[in-house]
Amino acid sequence: MNPPPTPDPTPTPHPHHEPDAPRDLVGIGIGPANLSLAALAHPLGDLDTAFYDQRPAFGWHTGLLIEGATIQVPFLADLVTLADPTSPWTFLNYLRSRERLFPFYFAERSHIQRAEYDAYCRWVSESLPGLHFGHQVDAVRWDPERDLFEVDFTQLDTDGEAEALGRTYTRNVVLGIGTEPHIPDPLKPLVEAPGVPVLHAADYLDHRAALLAAEHVTVVGIGQSGAEIFLDLLRNRPAGREKLHWLGRTEAFAPMEYSKLGLEHFTPDHTRYFHALPETARDRLIAGQWQLHKGIDAATIAAIHDELYRRTLHGGWPDAVLTPGVRVRTAGRVATTKVELHLEHARQDSRSRLTTDAVVLATGYRERPLDRLLAGLDPYMRRDSQDRPRVDEEYRLVLDPSVTGTAYVQNAETHTHGVGAPDLGLVAWRGAIILNSLTGREAYTLPRRTAFTTFGLTQRRQVPPPREAPALTPLVDDRR
């Protein structure tokens, strides 16, 4: 019996226009956020869209797809379900297309493995039209004479080398360029130099064999990624000779806030409350909410403790040191074969040195700066007191009124929209907000209330109505 067919990706065709005819929306970056937006835009036949990414194909944190590691949101937080559960691009329909619905049903899993989420997103990316991988966007400019955005890109060959230059025009753009690995300044020279492996957690699986072979390994950073890497190394090193050190600045190996009411901080209700706060209040609030998204999943903490305990059953303690509240002041190489970390414990006001054979930096990610891509828009951009782009409630960059087009951002607005900005559970809702704003109509009906918690004493309108947008004329596909 043949498996169920993959959803038909064929959109309503657009009439033919000149090659430089403007699109309605161009997306820059194809991570989960823009992939969600593309999937939700697909059934809206009056929209002409294109999305560009410099990578040769979709990949989601491929260096951290450790066996058994799960995502921190339930499977309903896929690319589309929380905005449109009838979409053909749901995770459940992905399972159906692979004849895996019944095994998933009996597995009784709410949180799926990271590798499965990556496979699901690749399935969507390989089926949706209008996605252009191997295209590096170089610049975005506003053309006041044409009232359009110009998007310059470089088409790359299979080796990532420049093959051709191109330009497309669009009435609106959306930036979904995501985050990039953060490497603390004291360790940047070590990462960039050859020799002893010093690498970011994002590249862990590419270097896993070398790390397992190293005599002593240090993991820096005690969030979720650091915990998963420490656990994987611990499970695969001999008992009594683990020679692992796990340290980080956080005061404790703290569990991530995962209570049901705590999770309501990742609802649209909290996002609206946060956006309405003064800038200074938002900044203070973000700093105090770290445990909502930077702690460690309780199951991972339990697994680490279980593995450490198992190694004490025959007497003795595992050769593993776990030290919170420690920062790396400086670092250097020792005789080209080892690394020396200079450590400081602020509470004790003490310092020490640690010599190790390999270092994994589980030091998190930062939003990619928009300045390079948007240099051409800089004269039009409005910024806050800390020179960050201002972003309105509908995820639009606040630009000079002379710019009649709209530039949206995804996962670049934590400072204006709060801890939910990078959360996978809000990508479909945010995409629906953007599409409602773009089309000037309720393309997606959104709930008026999403949390039992009432955030604040004064309440704002729950769902912003779509603002009137220019008529969208069906246009030719001008892909090059």
In the chain, what are the domain boundaries? 25-178+368-439, 181-256+294-364
307-324 pLDDT, tens digit each: 999 999 988 999 999 999
Amino acid making up residue 237:
R
5-21 pLDDT, tens digit each: 455 544 444 444 356 78
Nearest to 432 by CA among 76, 81, 28: 81
Please state the separation of Cα 401 from the chain's center in Å: 31
181-256+294-364 has the same fold as 25-178+368-439: yes
Q: What percent of the chain has pLDDT over 70?
A: 92
209-250 pLDDT, tens digit each: 999 999 999 999 999 999 999 999 999 999 999 999 999 999
Q: What is the mean pLDDT of the chain?
A: 91
Q: For 290-447, list the strands marked E by DSSP.
A: 320-323, 326-334, 338-345, 350-356, 358-361, 365-367, 406-409
- What are the φ and ψ backbone dihedral angles of 113, each rounded to 5 degrees? -70, 150
325-355 pLDDT, tens digit each: 999 999 998 888 899 999 999 899 999 999 9
User: What is the three-class DSSP state of 66?
Assistant: coil
The whole model's pTM is what? Answer: 0.91
Q: Assign a CATH topology to domain 181-256+294-364.
A: FAD/NAD(P)-binding domain (3.50.50)
262-304 pLDDT, tens digit each: 999 999 999 999 999 999 999 999 999 988 888 999 999 999 9
CATH 3.40.640.10 fits 25-178+368-439, yes or no: no
